Amino acid sequence: MFCPSHSRPALLGVRGFPLFLCILFFLSSCSPESTTPLDSNWPMYSADASGSKYSSLSQINTENVNKLEPAWILETGDHRTAPRSTIQCNPIIIDSIVYMTTPGLKVLAVHGETGEEIWRFDPYEGRSASGVNRGVSYWTDGESGRLFYVAGSSLYALDTNTGKVIESFGESGIVDLYAGLGRPVDFMWVTAATPGIVFEDLLIMGTTLGEGPSPAAPGHIRAYDVKTGAIRWIFHTIPQPGEFGYETWSPDSWKELGGANAWGGFTLDKERGMLFCGTGSSSYDHWGGNRIGQNLFANCILALNVRTGERIWHYQTVHHDIWDYDVPCPPNLVQVEQDGKLIDAIAQPTKMGHLFVLNRETGKPIFPVEEVAVPQSTVPGEETWPTQPFPPPSLRYAQQRFTAEEVSERTPAVAQAIRERLAEMVTGDIFLPPGTQDAVTLPQFNGGTDWGGAAYHPKSRTLFVNCSNEAEWISMVQAKPAPTITSFELGKQLYRGLCGTCHGNTLARNPGAPSLTDLREVVAPKPIGHVQAILNTGKGQMPKFAMLSADEKDALAAFIRETGKEELLERSKLDFSFADAIPYVATGHNEFKDPDGFPVNKPPWGTLTAIDLDAGKIKWQSPLGTYRELEAQGSPPTGTFNMGGPIVTGGGLVFIGAAMDERFHAFDAETGALVWEYQLEAGAYSTPSTYSLGGRQYVLIAAGGGGKPGTKAGGKYYCFALPE
C-alpha cells in the first residue's frame, strides 16, 4: 500500500533560520554540484564494499535539514503484532529502483521517486512468516542483474527485472544453507540475517546459528558461485586438525561445537583482494568447559583472501568468550594519518564499546592494545582466559563499569531501591564472569555496538558509531535439576536456559520472539502436541529443538501451558539431552530496570559518538534518543537502548533511527548537535540509505519496530526529501 506524502506524522524539532541563511540555501541548492551528484545510488549493504555508510550527496545539509519532509511512505502490509515482527533492512538503490525486504521476508522492488511497487517476491507464497533480514546483495554482468537474499535456510537468486527466481542457480533458484557444513545439522538452526558480499563471480556468505546449550551448527564462511550456486571455498572458523588455531580448542571441538560465525556481514578491499569480517562466540555462549583454550577464530576480526578463503591475518577481541561478546559487524575500511603519512587501516566497533584500529595489511594495532588481567570464573569446569585485550581508554566509547557508584540518581527512592538490589549481586568492571550468584553485565550482551556498525567520513577520517549502555544481569545454574522436581519447575529451568535469552519473561529479547506472557496467551488453548511440534521443527526465527528428549519437551510444554505443578518427577528416571555436556546454563539475559522500568545505571543509556581516527580519541558524544515519559517530565535526552546503524553524508549530517523513542534523527557531524528529528509510527531499528534521482536527494529508512527494543511493530518505509 502506498501513502502519499501529505499523509504523515508531525515534524519535531524544526528550528527557524534567519532570512540570509535561507537565501544562501536557495542559491546553494540550485548549484550543479548539489543537484548532479556523483554517487546517486546506494548499491549495496552499508553503501559500498568498505562498509563506509557514507554518501557524498550534500543537497540535504545542516542548513536546510529542518525542511526535510516525507516524499513517500510505503506500507509493506505484512507486519505482525504477535509475535512482534521487525524490519532491519538497509535498502539498496540501483538506477532508480529500490530493493527492500519486508517483515514477512518478502522482497520488493519500488520506484525510488514515488515508492510505487514494481514487483514483489514471496518465498512463502502467501503463508504467514516473520524473521530478520537486513537486505539483499546485487550482482550484474553488465547485461542482467541478480539479487541474492535469504529467507529461512534458503538462499535465493532473483532476476532484478522481474523478481522471479533464476532456475539455473542451485536447485531451481535456491541453495540450501544446510548443505556443505560437513556434518549432520538438519536438527539445528541455520539461516543468514545479513546479506553476503559480492566479489567478481563470488558471493561470500556467513550464517546465523543457535547460541544455546543445545548443539549448534558450525559457522563456516562459504563462497558461492554467483551463477551456479556451487560452493567455491570454505573457511572453518573452528579449525580442524592440521589447520592454524586447532590447538586453541579442546581436541574434539571442531566436530562437536558450533558458532564462531560471521553473522554480521563482510567488507572488502577489492584492490588487495582482502575480505574482512567479525565472528561470534562459540556455542554454548556462557559455559566453555568443553572448549578449553583461547578459541580461535571465535570473536575475531578475520582477513581472508577473497578468491581462495585462505587466512591472511586474524585479531581476537575476546579470548574464550563466556559473555556473548560477538564481533557483531564487519570492520570499516579507513585511513589514519600518523607522522604525515596515511595508513590504510580497519576500524572495528564491538559489543564491549571498544574500538580496535588495526593496520589493514598486517592486522597489527595502530593504537596500543593492552592485555589486562580480568576476574576468573568460579563455575565448576570452566577455565576462563586470564586476560582480555583493551584498546586505549580514549577508544572505549561505552560505559565499562557498574557498582553502587554508577547507580541512577533519577530519584532518591529509585537510587535506594537499586542499591538494595545490588547488595545481593556481584558488581564490578567489564568482563565480570557469570557465576552462580547474580552478576551485573555492562555493557550488556546486546550492548556497546551491535550489527548496525559504524559510518565513516573519508575526508575528515571520522568514525560515527552508536552504542547502548543499559545493564543486564546473569547467573548460572546446574543444567540437571534437584533429585525430585515437578514437570512445571523442570520446564521453567529449561526455559530459562534455552528460551529466556530470546523470549524473556515479560518482554521478548530478540526480534520475532513473543514474550513469555504472549507465548502463554497463544499456546495455552492449543493441544500439547502443538508445542512439541514447534520444538521439533522451529518456527520463523526460533531454532529447532528436536534434540531435546521427550521428558524435556513435555516439561517445557507444561511450563508454557502452566500445568504440571503437582506431580513430582525423579531425576534418575529422566532423560537429558545436553546436561552432561553442558552442566551449567545461564538463567538468561535478564533485564535490570529500576522500579519505574528505566535503566538502573546513570545515563546516557544510548549514545552516538564521533571518533577522530587520526588522534585516536572521541571527538564528541551525544545522547541518542529519549524516553518519552521522562521527556514529558522535562528531562533532557537520556539516550536509550538502540539497534540499527548510522549513515554520514557530504552535507555534514549523520542520519540514524535506532533509538526506542521511535524517531528518525539527524545530527550535525561536526558538533554532535541534534538538528532534526521526525516521529515515526514505529521504531526504525535499521540502517538508512540515501540516493539521488532527478536532481533530488532522498533519505530512506525502514520503521519496523518490534525487535530487541520490544516496542510496537510496524511495517513502513519512510522516504524523505526537501520540498520540490
Q: Where are the domains of the chain?
A: 1-129+657-724, 135-330, 480-577
How many Cβ atoms from other residues are within 10 Å of residue 49's Cβ?
21
- In tens, the pLDDT along 581-633 reads 999 999 888 999 999 999 999 999 999 999 999 999 999 999 999 999 999 99
Strands (E), 322-453: 332-338, 341-348, 356-359, 370-373, 387-390, 401-402, 428-429, 439-441
Q: What is the pLDDT of residue 129?
A: 83
C-alpha cell at 229: 550456486
Sequence-distant (6+) residues with CB within 8 A of 362 are 313
* 297 cis-preceded (ω within 30 degrees of 0): yes
Q: What is the pLDDT of residue 2?
A: 44
Range with the poorest average pLDDT among 68-82, 230-244, 489-503, 526-540: 526-540
Does pLDDT of 663 surpass 60?
Answer: yes
- Mean pLDDT, rounded, for 530-558: 80
- In tens, the pLDDT along 169-196 reads 999 999 999 999 999 888 888 999 999 9
Confidence of residue 545 (pLDDT cuts 50, 70, 90): confident
Range with the poorest average pLDDT among 88-97, 349-358, 500-509: 500-509
What are the angstrom distances between the C-alpha of 362 and each of 268, 313, 620?
15, 7, 30
Q: What is the pLDDT of residue 567?
A: 82
Q: Which of 449, 473, 191, 221 is nearest to 325 (CA)?
A: 449
How many Cβ atoms from other residues are within 10 Å of residue 56's Cβ?
14
| CA separation for the pair 320, 305 (Å, rounded) | 25
C-alpha cell at 603: 545515563
DSSP letter at 679?
E
- Mean pLDDT, rounded, for 252-261: 96
**Secondary element (H or E) of residue 665:** strand 663-668
For 135-330, CATH number?
2.40.128.630
At residue 593, what are phi and psi to the nearest 5 degrees? -120, 160
Does pLDDT of 36 surpass 80?
Answer: no
Q: What is the pLDDT of residue 595?
A: 96
Percent of the chain residues past pLDDT 70, beyond the cut: 92
Confidence of residue 328 (pLDDT cuts 50, 70, 90): very high
DSSP secondary structure string for all residues of 636-648: PP----B-S--EE
Confidence of residue 23 (pLDDT cuts 50, 70, 90): very low
CATH class of 480-577: mainly alpha
- Mean pLDDT, rounded, for 209-231: 94
Confidence of residue 4 (pLDDT cuts 50, 70, 90): very low
Q: What is the pLDDT of residue 453?
A: 98
Does pLDDT of 18 surpass 50?
Answer: no
Sequence-distant (6+) residues with CB within 8 A of 61 are 28, 649, 651, 652, 653
> With b meaning 16 or more CB within 10 Å and e meaning fewer, what string describes 542-562?
bbbbeebeebbbbbbbbbbbe
- Mean pLDDT, rounded, for 340-352: 98
Give yes or no on whether 135-330 and 480-577 have one common fold: no
DSSP letter at 720?
E
| CA separation for the pair 295, 317 (Å, rounded) | 11
Is 326:283 a contact under the CB 8 Å cutoff?
no
Q: Which residues are bridge partners to 275 per DSSP?
A: 268, 304
SS3 state of residue 86: coil
C-alpha cell at 593: 530496570
pTM of the model as a whole? 0.91
Q: Which amino acid is at 207?
A: T
Range with the poorest average pLDDT among 7-21, 35-49, 332-346, 498-512: 7-21
Report the mean per-residue pLDDT for the chain.
91
- Mean pLDDT, rounded, for 696-723: 96
Confidence of residue 127 (pLDDT cuts 50, 70, 90): confident
- In tens, the pLDDT along 382-427 reads 999 999 999 999 999 999 999 999 999 999 999 999 999 999 999 9
Q: What is the pLDDT of residue 83?
A: 80
| CA separation for the pair 505, 528 (Å, rounded) | 21
Residue 208 half-sphere exposure toward CB, CA atoms < 13 A: 25
Phi-psi region of 245 (alpha: psi -120 to 50; beta: other; left: phi over 0): left
Q: What is the pLDDT of residue 60?
A: 98
Q: Which residue has the higher pLDDT, 30 or 681?
A: 681
According to the per-residue pLDDT averaged within each range, which of 357-371, 472-486, 497-511, 531-545 is highest? 357-371
Residue with cell 556523483: 38
Does pLDDT of 369 surpass 80?
Answer: yes
Confidence of residue 459 (pLDDT cuts 50, 70, 90): very high
Q: What is the pLDDT of residue 88?
A: 98
Does pLDDT of 519 surpass 80?
Answer: no
Percent of the chain residues past pLDDT 90, beyond the cut: 78
Range with the poorest average pLDDT among 271-275, 509-513, 625-629: 509-513
Q: Which amino acid is at 124?
A: Y
Range with the poorest average pLDDT among 297-306, 538-547, 698-707: 538-547
Q: What is the pLDDT of residue 10?
A: 40
Is 624:659 a contact under the CB 8 Å cutoff?
yes
Residue with cell 499523509: 7
| CA separation for the pair 400, 441 (Å, rounded) | 9
Confidence of residue 24 (pLDDT cuts 50, 70, 90): very low
Is 433:287 a contact under the CB 8 Å cutoff?
no
| CA separation for the pair 51, 45 (Å, rounded) | 8
